[in-house]
Amino acid sequence: MRTWMAAMVVGFCMMTGPVVYAEASETKAKMEKAKGEVKADVEEMKGEAKGMKEEMKGNDAKAAMERAKGDVKGAGERAKGKMKELKEKVTD
């Protein structure tokens, strides 16, 4: 009886192990995507803040440039997050 129960526990662990691992990597993939989104939003906010600061000084061209730089950096961070997400999904 004892041997049979031990065999059942080992069999159960072997069958559920990959499922738990797949869920963990899926969670990590979602976290990487979320981190990319947050970093992108931060970069865009930085660009907007710098743009507003330059507008207050009267430099409209430089303000537009700062906003554009923030948008580009934000897009880059989103792309990095998406790539990390896909990398985690592939390494399952």
Instruction: Give the pTM.
Output: 0.66
Kindly indicate the confidence band of residue 49, based on its pLDDT and cuts at 50, 70 and 90: very high
Q: What is the mean pLDDT of residues 59-85?
A: 92
Are 89 and 26 in contact by the 8 Å Cβ rule? The answer is yes
Across the chain, mean pLDDT equals 82
Of 68, 66, 71, the closest CA to residue 50 belongs to: 66
25 band by pLDDT with thresholds 50, 70 and 90: confident
